Amino acid sequence: MLDLLQQGFGAVFSINILLLMAIGVAVGIVFGAVPGLSATMAVALCLPLTFTMGPQAGLSLLVALFIGATSGGLISAILLKIPGTPSSIATVFDGGPLMEQGHGAKALGIGIVFSFLGTLFSIAALMFIAPQLAKVALSFGPHEYFAIAIFSLTLIATLSAGSMVKGLFAGALGFAVSTVGIAPVEAIRRFTFGVSELNGGFSMLTVMIGMFAVAEIIKLAETGRHAVQGKAKSVSMKNIKGFGFSFKEFREQLPNAGRSGLIGLGIGILPGIGAGTSNLVAYIIAKKRAKDGHTYGKGNIGGVVASETANNAGIGGAMMPLMTLGIPGDTVTAIMLGGFLIHGIQPGPLLFISQGPLVYTIFAALIVATFMMLFMEFYGLRLFIKLLDVPKHILLPIILVLCVVGAFGLSSRLFDVWSILLFGVLGYGFVKAGMPAAPFIIGFILGPMAETNLRRGLMLSDGNFMDFFTNPISGSFLAIALVFILWQVYSAMRPKQSAINEILRS
Amino acid sequence: MRTTPNKKELIIGLAMIGSSLAYLVMAYQLPGHGGVDAGTVPALLAGLLILLGAMQVLSAFAAKPVAVEAAAPSTGDLPEVPAETAAPDVIEPRTVILTLALILGYMALLGPVGFPIMTVVYLYLQFLVLTPVTQKAKHLSYLLISVISSAVIFLLFREAFDLMLPAGLLNNFI
């Protein structure tokens, strides 16, 4: 393993890739910091840039964007009291008050350092667990893959924001949209209406760009002309030693950080829920366990530590099912999946055998990007604060143009450009209806996987459905999925809910 | 736009059923229905979608309007997070329609007129449409930003990323 990792670092440490990654981390931090822009958007918009690069450079860039954007949310959470991304909501609770009390630099320093530690922790976990998981997954056949796809879909649909019915509907609708195009097995055309461009179905990237970026611009049009854009306060960086906090404070927060890191990692591994949930869960648990719990929410650094460690620890967690099973854990890794496929790499257990060096290049890129994030975010803070002031009505139209370029770049046809508008309008409709977009995306991606494996599994067992239930692994996944739905229905009917339950469901 | 949550949920439910039915009809027109084939999964999905739509409609009748209003988490454990829009949301359907029309026009003319010209036109008009009510439109800087972004994006992708964006009318000059 060590020599493979060494090779990986060797590949990453070329001027070319390091430069790309530095740009990636910086752009990622900006997308994370500016409210309304998200990690998903950053990766989706930059994916077309990687088409002409090799897989190592391309994937390193995407990884750098992912890490930068996940961490960047803390800047606006502390300075503007607005979470830049859902994953830093809990950072606002204590980061905001700390800023008001004049400890802004301390809050930022703590947030950045514990982001860094959380990311490193999760990458270490990824490096040790993923190869083992891949070994187990090697023996999986169509039955297991079908069950895992259904399990993941159920989880994301029931745990997403809003009502469970809407979440499940969004997931099923995504699955339905994925059936457009040439069917697996018999290869007949479905729902193409004679349009030859539809033979290959809708491209995953156009769906994502439409749902997340174009829909965001239409949403801005609705209220943007009356919204008050927050003004970032500047933080004095003079007389700051190190990262702005003492070693004693650091040591005191270590148990909290360890716990939050585990929470973030665990929630990150589960498909469907990620940093957006784990930062709140970690915050609540940190508050309950802390001796000075009553000061949480009034400017306790523990709150920032819990939230930032947990949301960044989700990075390694979300990469785990992607790299070992080819199943994306959230929307960002869903686009990463697209990135892998564009470079002709199929993520899954075989990746570790056939593309060993590439896997360790990705690990190395993750580690290098984490260090870059630490230094760029802290020392380049002023620049990022300036960018927070760029008016939205200038920024978002330019992003729309970039969306169009990205869609066109997929295969140089205007059909894809029209698709992003279609999915943009659909995404806007989802927002209006209070329907979550993430299950739709995951349904769209896992749908073909579920259908293909269902058909293959049925062929293997001569059309016998029972094999899906009698196979121990696939049977357990399907059973867990069923239990999960029943549990959700049960807890939805109970009037009184615990806070964690509330977050998981709301 | 003052519909009660209950009515809103009902409309959403009906839209869900409507789209599911359309999918069901299309799924049944797929060739061949013997055993498990390419039509099976779409038919199953259509059934699930309709079921979920029906559940949504039923819940719209069952839910008290107040319950939906209180859906915003009011957990005692968590402090309030200020929303980005401080003022109560002023919703402007007009701006939305104008924006959609601009995007539509931009995409339609992208092929014939070309990326460089259309991007300048689109960006300039879109900046104007989205200018906050509290600000005056800065025509000169809008125009400058539009021209510069269009040129930078077009040339960057053409030269650095080998992506030939449609040049349209400018085809003979570049």
Q: Do A421 and B107 touch (CB under 8 A)?
A: yes
Burial status of residue A182 (CB atoms within 10 A of its CB: 0-12, 13-18, 19 or more) = middle
Amino acid sitting at position A224? G
Q: Which residues of B touch A228 (CB under 8 A)?
A: 85-87
What band does A304 get if pLDDT is binned at 50, 70 and 90? very high
**Residue B136, domain member (yes or no):** yes
Report d(CA B52, CA B98) in Å as an integer.
34
Instruction: Tell me the pTM.
Output: 0.85
**Residue B74, domain member (yes or no):** no
**Residue B77, domain member (yes or no):** no
Tokens 């970690």 map to which residue?
A282
Substitution target from B44, B130, B139, B164 for chain A, most A beta carbons within 10 A: B130
Query: What pLDDT, on a 0 to 100 scale, did the predictor assign at position B1?
Result: 46
Q: What are phi and psi of A181, to 5 degrees?
A: 115, -165
Contacts across the A-B interface (CB distance below 8 Å): 195
To the nearest whole number, what is the mean pLDDT of chain A? 85
Report d(CA A282, CA B61) in Å as an integer.
37
Q: What residue numbers bound the domain in which B134 lies?
A: 93-172
Average pLDDT of B124-132?
Answer: 91
Query: What pLDDT, on a 0 to 100 scale, did the predictor assign at position B66?
Result: 43
Q: Is the pLDDT of residue A9 over 70?
A: yes
Neighbours of A285 (CB within 10 A): 17
Q: Is the pLDDT of residue B2 over 80?
A: no
Do B106 and B55 sit in the same domain of this protein? no
Torsion (CA) A304, A307, A308, A310 in degrees, nearest 10: 150
Report d(CA A266, CA A122) in Å as an integer.
10
Q: Which residues of A touch B132 (CB under 8 A)?
A: 224-227, 229, 391, 393
Model confidence pLDDT, tens digit, residues A337-380: 888 888 888 888 888 888 888 999 999 999 999 999 998 988 88
Query: What pLDDT, on a 0 to 100 scale, did the predictor assign at position A494?
Result: 65
Q: Which residues of B touch A279 (CB under 8 A)?
A: none
Query: What pLDDT, on a 0 to 100 scale, did the predictor assign at position B81?
Result: 53
Query: What pLDDT, on a 0 to 100 scale, did the predictor assign at position A506?
Result: 46
Average pLDDT of A318-329?
Answer: 87
Within an 8 Å CB–CB cutoff, is residue B23 touching chain A? yes
Within an 8 Å CB–CB cutoff, is residue B173 touching chain A? no
What band does B64 get if pLDDT is binned at 50, 70 and 90? low
Query: What pLDDT, on a 0 to 100 scale, did the predictor assign at position B84?
Result: 45
What band does A390 get if pLDDT is binned at 50, 70 and 90? confident
Residues A284 and A333: beta-carbon distance below 8 Å: no
Q: Do A220 and B130 touch (CB under 8 A)?
A: yes
**Residue B19, domain member (yes or no):** yes
Average pLDDT of A236-262?
Answer: 80
Q: Is the pLDDT of residue B71 over 80?
A: no
**Distance in Å, alpha carbon of A113 to nearest chain B alpha carbon:** 24
Q: Which residue of A has its CA nearest to B70?
A: A506
Model confidence pLDDT, tens digit, residues A98-125: 888 888 888 888 999 999 999 999 999 9
What band does A18 get if pLDDT is binned at 50, 70 and 90? very high
Average pLDDT of A465-474?
Answer: 85
Query: What pLDDT, on a 0 to 100 scale, did the predictor assign at position A260?
Result: 93
Substitution target from B84, B95, B113, B142 for chain A, most A beta carbons within 10 A: B84
Q: Which residues of B touch A179 (CB under 8 A)?
A: 41-42, 45
What band does A238 get if pLDDT is binned at 50, 70 and 90? low
Lowest-pLDDT range, A57-66, A221-230, A401-410, B69-78?
B69-78
What band does A26 get if pLDDT is binned at 50, 70 and 90? very high
Residues A263 and A503: beta-carbon distance below 8 Å: no
Do B63 and B108 sit in the same domain of this protein? no
Lowest-pLDDT range, A56-60, A68-72, A163-167, B102-106?
A163-167
Nearest to A69 by CA among A96, A56, A87, A81: A87
DSSP code per residue over A55-100: HHHHHHHHHHHHHHHHHHHHHHHHHTSS-SSGGGHHHHHHHHHHHH
Neighbours of B15 (CB within 10 A): 14
Nearest to A89 by CA among A78, A101, A99, A102: A78
Q: Is the pLDDT of residue B67 over 50?
A: no
Tokens 């027109």 map to which residue?
B29
Within an 8 Å CB–CB cutoff, is residue B29 touching chain A? no
Within an 8 Å CB–CB cutoff, is residue B170 touching chain A? no
Substitution target from A179, A228, A403, A494 for chain B, most B beta carbons within 10 A: A179
By percentage, how much of chain A surpasses pLDDT 90?
Answer: 22
Neighbours of A183 (CB within 10 A): 23
Query: What pLDDT, on a 0 to 100 scale, did the predictor assign at position B75?
Result: 45
Name the most confidently modeled range: A245-249, A452-456, B1-5, B81-85: A452-456
Q: What is the 3-class SS of B40-82, one letter each residue?
A: HHHHHHHHHHHHHHHHHHHHHHHCCHHHHHCCCCCCCCCCCCC
What band does A21 get if pLDDT is binned at 50, 70 and 90? very high
Q: Is the pLDDT of residue A461 over 90?
A: no
**Distance in Å, alpha carbon of A96 to nearest chain B alpha carbon:** 10
Model confidence pLDDT, tens digit, residues A168-215: 899 899 998 988 888 877 777 888 787 777 888 888 888 988 988 898
Amino acid sitting at position A292? D
Could you state, in order of their start, the residue ranges of all structural domains in chain A? 2-224+239-505
Q: Which residues of B touch A396 (CB under 8 A)?
A: 130
ipTM surpasses 0.90: no
Q: Which residues of B touch A280 (CB under 8 A)?
A: 78
Decide which of A506 and A44 is more confident: A44
Query: Which of A184, A401, A502 is closest, CB to CB, to B119?
Result: A401
Lowest-pLDDT range, A423-427, A500-504, B147-151?
A500-504
Within an 8 Å CB–CB cutoff, is residue B81 touching chain A? yes
**Residue B65, domain member (yes or no):** yes
Q: Is the pLDDT of residue B74 over 70?
A: no
Neighbours of B36 (CB within 10 A): 14
Residues A320 and A362: beta-carbon distance below 8 Å: no
Report d(CA A235, CA A246) in Å as an integer.
18
Query: What pLDDT, on a 0 to 100 scale, did the predictor assign at position B140?
Result: 92
Which tokens go with A499?
């806070």
Q: Which residue of A has its CA nearest to B148?
A: A398
Average pLDDT of B40-53?
Answer: 88
Q: Which residues of B touch A48 (CB under 8 A)?
A: 161, 163
Query: What pLDDT, on a 0 to 100 scale, did the predictor assign at position B70?
Result: 38
Query: In total, how many domains does chain B have?
Result: 2
Query: What pLDDT, on a 0 to 100 scale, did the predictor assign at position B83?
Result: 46
Amino acid sitting at position A259? R
Do B65 and B115 sit in the same domain of this protein? no
Q: Do A463 and B36 touch (CB under 8 A)?
A: yes
Q: Is the pLDDT of residue B65 over 60?
A: no
